[in-house]
Structure 1
Amino acid sequence: MTGPGLVEAANRLLDGHGARSGRSGAVALRAALVDLYEFWLHRAAAAAGVGTEGVALAAVGGLGRRELVPFSDVDLVLLHTGRRDLGGLAEAVWYPLWDSGVGVDHSVRTPDEALAVAAEDVRTAVGLLDLRHIAGDGALTARVREAVREQWRRLARRALPELASSARRRWERAGEIAQSAQPDLKHGRGGLRDVGLLDALAAAQLADRPSQEVTEARRLLLDVRTELRRNLRRDRDLLDPSQAEVVADQLGLADRFALARALSGASRAVAYAVDVALRVATRLPGTASRRVPPRTPVDDGVVLHGAEVALARGARPARDASLVLRVAAASATTSAPIAQGTLTALAESSPEPRTPWPAAARDTLTRLLGAGEGLVPAVEALDRAGLWGRLLPEWGAVRDLPPREPVHTWTVDRHLVRTCVEAARLTTTVSRPDLLLLAALLHDIGKGRDTDHSELGGRITARVAQRLGLSSRDGALLAAVVRHHLLLPHTATRRDIGERATVRRVVDTLDGDVTLLELLHALTEADARATGPGVWTAWRARLVGELVARCRALMRGEPHAAPERFTPAQRELAADAVRVGAGRARVRTVQGAPTDNAADADPAEVLTTVEFAVPRGASLLAPATGVLALNSMRVLSAVVREHGGGVVGVLTASPVFGGPPDPTLLRDQFARAVAGRLDLRARLAEKERAYAGVAATPRAAVLWFDDEAADDAVVLELRAVARIGLLHRVARALDEHGARVRWAKAAELGGGVVDSFAVSPSRGAPDAAWRARLERAVLEAALAAVPRGG
């Protein structure tokens, strides 16, 4: 059989398995590839003369483990007992593989050489644990395999530090599979390399053999990797969202979100097993001091046993439902992991807390949630042992639930825990820190269902509050925090907070409750910080803080402080535009918008305020947003006001990358755009073409809100895919249909945007017919196809 014949046969296997559905197809494909490669290698080895005594061809890696996935390299070892003609024999085996285009990692070793290399190189030692006979002298392969494993059992303890540090470096490079939008199935934390690490520790008798949960996770990771490579027809282990949709369908899962959830659960099981295995291995005799570690009491029934939290002698988990919470709180506050034996004992005998919870249990829960960074591993340990769901049965709905918005870094359950970590830093800013921590834990508990997660979360929280034994008033307050946890950020980033109607609506929604307002303010910051980097910006912090300040003032009965309509400079700019009959612009750049919180936001954030002016009757918002988009500026807000015979627009924007554009260039481009000498439509189309290859499929929806703007204006809210020039096209459509824009806000959500406009007709009232025409025009502008070049 020739090399190309092997590749052709492998390709036929891939084609033949293309129509299979479900995970059995991936398993069958791997088995078929193993059989094919073994058959071909056996034939090639026999032709090269490997069939004699003292020479053997063996496989390691994926072929050695019988886990060969498509387009994998083949790892081979040619073993011999001292023959001198091995050079030609080895080339007779390797060359056909090279000629075929199959990647080959090969070596030629005597038994002593194999053991010597394995003794010096940890990676080689771990790789040789998978040694499996292919052709030739089977007894030789068996002797080397046994010798390698025996040597590994003797030497593995000293290799533990290198194994652990190597794994941590790999995790830093590849990230966590559970939290990645493009997980690395092989190298990521909780991936196949970590499964191999567990196998190596078990082979050294430093850890138990992988559990059934880890075994199932291994198969899922392999199935996904198999289908990913079969689809791409190349060796790739990064699963991007577009391929995830295809792989999910082939494995019989509903969609890529179902696949992400399955991968999250699998990888977290593997990652936790690795943490436990490395921790247990380092405590075994020969890896640390043989002195019995001290037992230091840290709570009732809980001790710090060496570097781990454990049960005290005499602790009775079967009769003490709160013991689980005390163990977790001790772990979180000391940053010491919970001993595996303790988790096992609690899982086997700890009862569910009685309803309602006693006050001591609630206090311990508050201490746990407020522990800071130590909360994350403590909850992970309880969750993996099945104890966290026993305390909070509602957790099952969000466990490993992937986020629907790309802006989110974490799965929903991890996001809730991370929000508690962030909220713990803000407990001194509120009068009820206990309710803030509980709200952080529960604010997204309603996600994962086809309904408004805030409303559902509020109802779920009311039930949880009753079970926890909160008073009826505290339970209602906690449920209100969860129900309204998006009110402040949505209002601040999508409405004009300078309008009294906007502030009044927020105050009325909160029934004038100052405590509820302060809890929502703290939760808004914690939620944003726990969402992902760059979400809690100085701009957002300033807007939310200003909205809260205006709400407080209204709750105290103070008169509404309306923003100054025009500064002297703006009046001068408007007068100049009227005088010359052309567009005018003034640019001011603000570095790192200030907030009340010193720990706030990215200090490098750049906000640029651009003031535009045109004579009355000329278009302002469309050319202004177009010019800013042309210069890669992201518009955050716009306020348009009339003065005398002119119109002034104040737009706040930030650079998509780099710094703000040259003010002279902006002024010149705006004047030419207003005069019709700059074809913004063509220039933006050209800019969009450069990004058309990665643009998402256009989709959009329009919502209307009454009584959220002053006078006769109504609020039109466009939800669409973020695209260059979108705001310009929508503003142009509003102009063309006679809509006057009082203000506009733009909020980005990962790959999507929410653009809000307070609009009114130039004549008459905003009746149903006018709204329908305007809605059609806005949707057409948002859904316009991305221009493509020739």
Structure 2
Amino acid sequence: MRGGAPGSSGHGRRLDAAGLRQALVDLHEFWLGTKAQEVGILPDSGFALVAVGGLGRRELLPYSDLDLVLLYDEDLAPDVVGAVADQLWYPLWDAHIKLDHSVRTVPQALAVAGSDIPAVLGMLEARHIAGDVELSTQLIGSVRRAWRADIRDRFDDLIEETRTRWRRSGEIAHRAEPDLKSGRGGLRDVQLLHALAAAQLTDGLGPEVPGGGVAHAHNGLLDVRTELHRVAGRARDQLLAQDADEIGAALRIGDRFDLARLLSDSARTISYAVEVGIRTASNALPRRGLGRLRRPPVRRPLDEGVVEHSGEVALARDARPKRDPALITRVAAVAAQTGLPIGSGALARLADSAPELREPWPKDAVGELLVLLGSGHRSVPVIEALDRTGLWGRLLPEWGAVRDLPPRDAVHTWTVDRHLVETAAYASGFTTRVSRPDLLMLGALLHDIGKGRGGDHSVVGAELATQIGRRMGLWPSDVTILSAMVRHHLLLPETATRRDLEDPATIERVVEAIGGDPTLLELLHALAEADSLATGPGVWGDWKATLIGELVRRCRLVMAGETLPEPDPLDPDLVARGADGGVHVDIVQADSAHTWRVTVVAPDSAALLSREAGVLALHGLRVLTASLGSHEGSAVNSFVVAPHFGTPPEAGLLRQELLRANAGELDLHERLDAKDAQERESRALELGSDRPDAVPVLYAQAPPRVLWFDTPVPHQVILELRAEDRVGLLSRLARALETCGADILWAKVSTLGTTVIDSFCLDLSAADTRAARERIERALLAVVPSPRPEPRPGADEG
């Protein structure tokens, strides 16, 4: 019977994959129904033939096993049952049909389902074929009722079996020869979604996503597996590279690269749906005992319009996506920073209501995007969720050409889009190496954006980067650097590994290509390492690092010198206001709806900056930029801030708080420490830890870095600190400098995503010694986040 399966020979019209599956189901149902009548499996016989597996799901493939259960009434004699079973099974064996069969009463079948996860998953999809309908209905209904009743006790085992299967079979989307059935994002995961829905823990096959969702992805995988059977001439779940071109042609989708792209899209769609499904099911599990009396989870505020609810990032009830263009990036940034997943309801609401970001983007939208990218590998699942629901493409329409695009060489581990996200994640660990961490992360995200369009991807990508940079509202000079990063992202590794570094012409060629720009050089250096690390194992090593490092060193010698940070000019009107010796605080709207400019004019003192920054931090104001200077005994300081929620407090309140701090009536640093501890405790609860002191909220992606620059003025130096942000960091830094006896003459502060670039001009006339600089450096590094320590060899990293 199987050897003559429709569409499997060259006779007549060749059925497509879906048509072949339907023909196989019809053929087998007809034969089984006819044979059942012949052997006495009739409506009132006490026998019922039930299909599970592929036939039960109506997804029978050319060489799939035939999974059948022969149910019988307990009153029937054993010899009668045996005779009927033999008459049914032997013709199938004679036809060389792979048969997975069992003969059971309904209680026996229920006992098996109650003790074996794979068995119950199959029975949840059981379907009556012939015989006593009431017997089949009794089994199918009882299995489903028992599954719903016992799901709380069986849920952990179900998920553990799923994760074990994933570890064994890998991810379909990023595997050269994927397991279509058992791999992550495969057909068994669709079965898992059906099982969660049958337990009434989820609504169905997951959230709606562009392109047809799970149903469309499921059909795509089924079609590929159908053709795989047809090409191989036997049952096979793993797609081998040698068969990919033939299968792609049979499905009329193109070559093996087109097939790989279809598989990646389908598998990632299913994987995302499974993640959402497991999370939703876990939250929906029925409670026991006193758990039933527990109050519903509260909605804890996380940011403007964003809350935490049931372990997920959700939209606040008063959020207005249509009126808040930066809400998508803010939700994403919060999710990446907290490690919480974005709830499917929030994603659906954003997809339905959030507007396109107009050119230029609001500045806070760019800032939140940088926070997202600066979160390291915590950004990967967040961007994946945005991408699978169409929101990432709304931010970056150019992403469509690289989405699920397979690599053209074996050294690459990831699809092109995932490689770009991985590169940005690695680059977040190098942000303190460069003076422009914002451009490093954007360049990492976009460096291969030109692939999939034909032509030199570096040239095409540079044009797209210019387009994207302008749309984001970057300064024209920054757009030029971003475009140059994409255009020349291969310049350093290709030159270092293929050219003679002893030849001055080699160095001159590199310097000329980058226009002699030291900022671009350091950005390309960091990008080269991030790109290599994100490509695959062994691509970055000591040999390559040494060669590129030597190339960069020689280029710097040729370019000879870097520009020192300079103070911003003081506004004469503000200088005039300081003449009366009083304290003045003004607050005005800044460049966007969520940023304000706070200007403070006050008598200068060593502790003033620490107090000003502390007051701002205590009132939930994050300092984005600051320009700090003094004139004839008056400090003139301007801060651009972003409130954590809502709008900033009144200027009068900030002035009163600053006066209290100056008078010693307000212990800012004790309050800041308490606020920091509260955030750590909240973070501990998010991660399920009862040890707030062990929560890595002060861990950084990138190690902090202190740079010293001498100036033409004796004993005046410029200190540049590159580090990751934390609550009240500027206040802590100013206090540390004060404690060390360093007089701050002026300062420029920039927060770029999660990274701060703070420049302080210091008067060290009292002790301008190496020891003094080391003491200052230690004091500053003591208050900034540091990288997570490496686990000890043999330690449990789980």
Flag whether TM exceeds 0.5 (same fold). yes
Alignment-derived partner of residue 447 in structure 1: 451
Quick one: which of 120, 125, 142 aligns to 1:130?
125
Shift of 1:16: 4.2
Alpha-carbon distance in structure 1 between the residues aligned to 2:49 and 2:300 = 56
Question: 1:217-616 maps to which residues of 2 (within 5 A)?
Answer: 217-284=217-284, 286=286, 289=291, 290-556=294-560
SS of the aligned residue for 1:504 comes to helix
SS for the counterpart of 2:9 is helix
1:41 corresponds to which of 9, 32, 48: 32
CA drift at 1:39: 2.7
Q: How does 1:731-746 map to 2 (within 5 A)?
A: none
CA distance in 1, matches of 2:285, 2:318: 26
Structure 1 397/287 Cα, relative in aligned 2: closer, same or farther at 3 Å?
Answer: farther
- Which stretch of the first structure deviates more once superposed, 217-226 or 239-248? 239-248
TM superposition shift of 1:110 = 1.0
Q: Secondary structure at the match of 1:106?
A: strand
Structure 2 partner of 1:66: 58
In the alignment, what sits opposite 1:192? 187
**Which one of the candidate residues 142, 152, 155 is aligned to 1:157?**
152
How has the CA–CA distance of structure 1 residues 422 and 557 changed in structure 2, closer, same or farther, with 3 Å as cutoff?
Answer: closer
How far the C-alpha of 1:143 sits from its partner, in A, is 2.5
2:134 aligned residue (139, 148, 151) = 139
Contact 1:355 1:468 in 2 (8 A): yes
1:763-774 residue pairs with structure 2 within 5 A?
none
What displacement does 1:13 show? 4.4
Alpha-carbon separation, structure 2, partners of 1:248 and 1:18: 22
Question: Aligned letter for 1:362?
Answer: V
Distance 1:370 1:19, change over 3 A: farther
Report the Cα distance in structure 1 between the residues aligned to 2:248 and 2:264, rounded to whole angstroms. 14
Structure 2 letter corresponding to 1:218: H
Aligned counterparts of 2:519 and 2:555: Cα–Cα separation in 1: 12
Q: CA deviation at 1:388?
A: 1.0
Amino acid paired to 2:54: G
In the alignment, is residue 14 of structure 1 matched against residue 8 of structure 2? yes
After superposition, the Cα gap between the structure-2 partners of 1:17 and 1:175, relative to the gap in structure 1 and judged at 3 Å, is farther
What one-letter code is carried by the residue in structure 1 that aligns with 2:483? A
Q: Which residue of 1 aligns with 2:18?
A: 27
Secondary structure of the residue aligned to 2:16 is helix
**Per the alignment, in what secondary structure is the counterpart of residue 234 of structure 1?**
coil
- SS state at 2:84 partner: helix
Instruction: Pick closer, same or farther for the CA change 1:87–1:518 going to 2, 3 Å.
Output: same
Measured in 2, the distance between the counterparts of 1:102 and 1:159 equals: 33
Task: Note the C-alpha offset of 1:171.
Answer: 1.1
Write the deviation string for residues 619-639 of structure 1: whole angstroms up to 9, x where unpaired.
xxxxxxxxxxxxxxxxxxxxx
Contact 1:281-1:287 at 8 Å conserved across structures: no
Compute the displacement of 1:49 (Å): 3.3
Find the counterpart in structure 2 of residue 171 from structure 1: 166
Looking at structure 2, the residues matched to 368 and 101 of structure 1 have their Cα atoms a distance apart, in angstroms, of 57
Please state how far the C-alpha of 1:118 moved relative to its aligned partner. Answer: 1.4
Q: Which amino acid aligns with 1:421?
A: A
Q: Secondary structure at the match of 1:206?
A: coil
Q: Is the 8 A contact 2:306 2:331 kept in 1?
A: yes
Shift of 1:298: 2.0
151-160 or 184-193, which deviates more: 151-160
In the TM superposition, what whole-angstrom CA distance separates every residue of 1:270-290 from its partner, at most 9, and x where no partner exists?
A: 111111111011111515854
Offset of residue 240 of structure 1: 2.2
Instruction: Tell me which amino acid in the other structure corresponds to 1:79.
Output: L
Q: Secondary structure at the match of 2:64?
A: coil
Question: Which of 79, 102, 114 is residue 119 of structure 1 equivalent to?
Answer: 114
SS in 1 for 2:8: helix
Q: Classify 1:464/1:361 alpha carbon distance in 2 versus 1 (closer, same or farther; 3 Å).
A: same
Distance in 2 of aligned mates of 1:449 and 1:404: 14
* Match of residue 50 from structure 1: 41
Aligned length: 551
1:92 aligned partner: 87
| 3-state SS, counterpart of residue 128 of structure 2 | strand
CA deviations on 1:715-765 (whole Å, 9 max, x unpaired) are xxxxxxxxxxxxxxxxxxxxxxxxxxxxxxxxxxxxxxxxxxxxxxxxxxx
Segments of 5+ residues of structure 1 without an aligned counterpart are: 1-5, 559-597, 600-790
Native 8 Å contact 1:119 1:125 kept in 2: yes
Instruction: Please tell me whether the aligned partners of residues 7 and 13 of structure 2 are also in contact (alpha carbons under 8 angstroms).
Output: no
Return the letter of the residue paired with 1:316: R
C-alpha distance in 2, partners of 1:7/1:29? Answer: 12
Q: CA deviation at 1:18?
A: 9.0
Deviation for aligned residue 1:318: 1.4
User: In the TM superposition, what is the alpha-carbon distance from 1:128 to its structure 2 partner?
Assistant: 0.4
The corresponding residue for 1:180 is 175
Mapped partners of 2:470, 2:425: distance in 1: 24
Distance 1:124 1:346, change over 3 A: same
The aligned amino acid for 1:266 is: S
Distance change (3 Å), C-alpha of 1:287 and 1:270: farther
Aligned to 2:223, the other structure's residue is in SS state helix
- Report the 3-state secondary structure (helix = DSSP H, G, I; strand = E; otherwise coil) of the residue aligned with 1:58: strand
1:540-572, Cα deviation, whole Å (9 max, x unpaired):
1121112111211222299xxxxxxxxxxxxxx
Deviations 1:197-241 (CA, angstroms, capped at 9, x unpaired): 111111222112225411111111111000011011011111122
Change (3 A) 1:18 1:157: farther
The Cα offsets for residues 48-92 of structure 1, whole Å up to 9 and x where unpaired, read as 333351101111000111101111111110101112222232233
Please say if residues 158 and 287 of structure 1, whose CA atoms lie closer than 8 Å, have aligned partners that are also in contact: no
CA contact (8 A) 1:17 1:29 kept: no
Contact kept, 8 Å, 1:521 with 1:544, in 2: the verdict is: yes
Among 98, 105, 116, the residue aligned to 1:103: 98
* Cα distance, 1:18–1:227 mapped onto 2, change above 3 Å: farther
Q: Distance in 2 between matches of 1:517 and 1:415?
A: 22
**Contact 1:492 1:544 (8 Å CA) reproduced:** yes
How big is the shift at 1:352? 1.7
**Higher mean C-alpha displacement, 419-428 vs 115-124:** 115-124
Structure 2, unmatched stretches of 5+, are: 563-701, 704-798
1:690 matched residue in structure 2:
none
* Alignment-derived partner of residue 740 in structure 2: none
Identity over the aligned pairs, expressed in percent? 56
The answer to whether the Cα contact below 8 Å between 2:2 and 2:62 also exists between their aligned partners in 1 is no
Residue 227 of structure 2 contacts residue 250 of structure 2 at CA under 8 Å; is this kept in 1?
Answer: yes
* Post-superposition offset of 1:308: 1.0
**1:33 positional shift:** 1.5
CA distance 1:287–1:169, change in 2 (3 Å): farther
CA deviations 1:694-722 (Å, max 9, x no partner) are: xxxxxxxxxxxxxxxxxxxxxxxxxxxxx
**Which residue identity does 2:153 align to in structure 1?**
R
CA contact (8 A) 1:13 1:33 kept: no
